[in-house]
Chains A and B, each alone.
Chain A
Amino acid sequence: MTAQPLLDVHDLTIEFTTRRGIVKAVQHVNISVAKGETLGIVGESGSGKSVTSYAVMRILDRAGRIAEGSVMFSGIDVKAASENEMRDLRGREISMIFQNPRAALNPIRKVGDQIEDVLRQHVQSAASDRGEKAIEALEQVKIARPRERYHAYPFELSGGMCQRVVIALALACNPQLLIADEPTTGLDVTTQKAVMDLIVELTKRRHMSTILITHDLGLAAAYCDRVVVMEKGRVVETAKSADIFARPEHPYTRKLMRATPRIGVSLRDLLPEEEVALSSASPRLRGEADARSAAGEGDSPQTALAETAPHPDPLPAGGERKQKPLLLVEKLVKEYPRQGAGALLSKLFSRKPPVEAEVFRAVDGISFTVGHGESVGLVGESGCGKSTTSMMVMRLLDQSSGRIAFDGEEIGAILPQAFARLPQRKSIQMVFQDPTDSLNPRFTAARAIADPIMQLGNIRGRDALRARCEELAGLVGLPVNLLDRFPHQLSGGQKARVGIARAIALHPKLVILDEPTAALDVSVQAIVLNLLQDLKASMGMSYLFVSHDLNVVRLLCDRVIVMRAGRIVEHGSSERVLGDPQDGYTKELLTAIPHPPLPV
């Protein structure tokens, strides 16, 4: 980097004016990007990585401002530039790819028109050949049949396609710098690989510089020349990506690397060094400590526990039951009429019956079992039917055909509405994917945890309920003083703990984990996964772990089922399936995961 860097961020401090005074989101950050370089900015949520890039584009919120420092882009002082100059800069010189491709595209305009808009804005071509240019742009991002896709609306394209269109938009004017803000979050691993390869290929070919903002160290390592690690608004480490994995200098970088699930490590290895010693016993110890402290006031949690512990168990315990799996699913099928949302509308607005209902099989005759105390991973990409399967097992959705037996009893024939009141409801619970969405925004954490107990449990009385909530909070490692907070006052990890506490409140036998860590930072994910493992051991539960992340599944599950397009393509022990995959699709999934180099 002897030459003048393309982008030079010097001593940047960004302040936000909030209700609680001024918050410094970014403090004294120095970042430079050379021409043709790919720089990764890695950090967890709240680290200020996105805010920094917004400052470069000068698209901060009204509450935010650059308090100190400078941003120089190829000789232009971004901080001092007029709004007109910035408008020329954005899109033509610096462009950006956002996290959610669907949100970044105007839903009611054809994608071709949207690309033309950018071209028109920056007077890149004459009106006559703008259409051709747009098609060319689509061609370059490897969209098949670009001439047809030109007339497509964003909702007609898949997530990966939309992201390609967004990339085409961003690159339409040949910018010098591309900022990609979590460009592949929410995309499947195989799509992620395709999109990232595309970005790198296109930018290299055009000698563009790229800033890749991500929380995924593996992704940054695989695609970037240099990596900047940010924590709490500060840059803690800058190094070549090869070096950063070989010799991480800063403790935070080491912590992040440890927490990233990878081949050849156990769950415990994900935790920070200093916590490993504690962790094996900590959630339980903490739980007991809390229980003891709570025991001072009124009802003791021990009695509360005793009240819930004996679940109604119609089956005789013993050897006979041991052989039977806890959950048996046989030839399960879920069919949907093919029109989707359109059918609903036409049903509402027209008298005539919908045109012959062609069916779509979301789940196409799958069979599997989950044993007592076993954890089974259900893996596949979006749309493969894994969530539909879990919903049917959960009795939130009715299946089209097939049978589901739980603990020796047929539950497949029970309608979802009726199931809510049955004793089995207690035994099958679920931890949801999005901890924010799955908590009622108007319930405090304690109220959310108490909800299943109030409906199905047999603890009565405010004090007993409270004691049980505090006990559960102790079990999942949630500080008791957070119980009175509303979900939006809790962090992602804390919300996840509330969700888990709610799921285990009734001593379920089977817990379905629907990507419970997908919305969490890696360091939080490491803690939550360990917590789940501890809980499983101490409470003797079985898990059905639904996920797209093979690395996570490898850590937590005994057996793995790989699904594709509603069918099971491979199943077997985790070691076997992930170590020696037989099916082509499983192999494809495994190779698509970006692997950080193993730490020494």
Chain B
Amino acid sequence: MSSVAPAVEPAAPGRASGLSATFEHVRYVLGENRVTAFAFGLLIIILFAAIFGPYIVPYDPLASDTAAALKPPSAAHWFGTDQLGRDIFSRVIVATRLDTFIAVASVALVFLMGGLAGIAAGYFGGWTDRIVGRIADTIMAFPLFVLAMGIVAALGNTVQNIIIATAIVNFPLYARVARAEANVRRNAGFVQAARLSGNGEARILLVHILPNIMPIMIVQMSLTMGYAILNAAGLSFIGLGVRPPTAEWGIMVAEGATFMVSGEWWIALFPGLALMIAVFCFNLLGDGLRDIVDPQRRT
């Protein structure tokens, strides 16, 4: 409906610029899209738990109390207790910080590596493109989780290595999306204009092209965020991630799994639920985020 758009434009008054306009825009997108608003609500809860978790939980997540071991959910222990008598509610909340940290850090890392490599490949083409493309292909040739396992096993069981492994596994996704997007734009008019303005190649990439790719990259980041959480939990579940007794959803599910058969369902269920909600939240967030970040939507 291009013919309608100009009719709308004059209606746009001199908009309040800056922060208030951004806030107004976010409010509009959320109002328009209930699902995104719901995901945002979840995100706020998750972030709140990640930041303030350790200060608000009723019990020390690491303190064991053998007298109160394997108690089902009750008023004192909302999510029950595990085999060492630790409060599962406290542990689930406290674990939010570690799990989201791993996810955020690995996504940030892969965005830097994959995103930049991809943009460079798409923009320069030629050898850069071939090298980045083959690296991505090589990584994709492995079952991703097995590759992550291999990397952690080789480098050692630390949070840092989990982050690196998760980032490497996601590299092809970012590189390919960024490459495709940059490739489309490398001869766009505004890039030519930037060349005429005397911008160097690196500056064109970072200042002119990268911001235009951000909307789609942010959707990608939101989606892989869920995957990164699962990956970190998965590594911990099979014993290659964070070591006990650290509170972490994957380990907690792993520990709880052995008690499932004897009827103590709550030990695995609640961390599993937390994991599910976090992944769910990040997946839902993607589309809404794109609407917020994309300036075209700010008519």
Residues in chain A within 8 A of chain B (CB atoms): 16, 18-20, 23, 25, 45-51, 61, 63-64, 232-233, 348, 394, 396, 416-417, 420-421, 425-426, 428-430, 432-434, 437-443, 448, 451-452, 454-456, 481, 484, 486, 488-492, 499, 502-503
Contacts and interface: CB of A to CB of B under 8 A. Distances in A.
Contacts, number: 126
Contacts of B211: 440, 442
B189 A433 contact: yes
B262 interface: no
B198 A452 contact: yes
Contact of A64 (B1, B28, B197, B201): B1
Interface in B263-299: 295-296, 298-299
A442 B1 CA distance: 22
Interface residues of B, number: 38
A18 B9 contact: no
Interface of B: 1-9, 11-12, 14, 17, 28, 129-130, 133, 188-190, 192-201, 203, 208, 211-212, 295-296, 298-299
Contact of A19 (B28, B192, B195): B28
B11, B189, B296: most-surrounded residue (chain A CB, <10 A): B189
A489 B8 CA distance: 10
A18, A440, A456: most-surrounded residue (chain B CB, <10 A): A440
Contacts of B200: 420-421
Contacts of B14: 481
Contacts of A46: 3-7
25 contacts: A20-B8, A20-B11, A20-B12, A25-B7, A46-B3, A46-B5, A63-B1, A64-B4, A348-B129, A348-B133, A421-B198, A421-B200, A438-B193, A439-B189, A439-B193, A440-B194, A441-B190, A451-B193, A451-B194, A451-B199, A452-B197, A456-B198, A484-B17, A488-B296, A490-B9
Contact of B3 (A49, A488, A502, A503): A49
Nearest to A425: B198
A430 B196 contact: yes
Contacts of A428: 196
Contacts of B4: 16, 23, 25, 46, 51, 64
A438 B190 contact: yes
A455 B197 contact: yes
Contacts of A486: 295, 298
Given A16-B4, A499-B193, 16 more contacts: A20-B12, A25-B7, A45-B3, A348-B129, A420-B195, A420-B199, A420-B200, A429-B196, A438-B193, A440-B193, A441-B190, A442-B295, A451-B194, A452-B196, A452-B198, A489-B299
Contacts of B190: 437-441, 443
Contact of A45 (B6, B201, B298): B6
B98 to A, nearest CB: 35
B280 to A, nearest CB: 28
Contacts of A19: 28, 299
B5, B189, B196: most-surrounded residue (chain A CB, <10 A): B196
Contact of A502 (B2, B9, B193): B193
Nearest to A449: B197
A437 B190 CA distance: 6
Nearest to B6: A46
Given A421-B200, A451-B199, A484-B17, A441 B296 contact: yes
Given A20-B8, A45-B6, A432 B189 contact: yes
A420 B198 contact: yes
Contact of A48 (B3, B194, B199, B201): B3
A448 B129 CA distance: 29
B2, B9, B193, B201: most-surrounded residue (chain A CB, <10 A): B193
Given A420-B195, A451-B194, A491 B189 contact: no
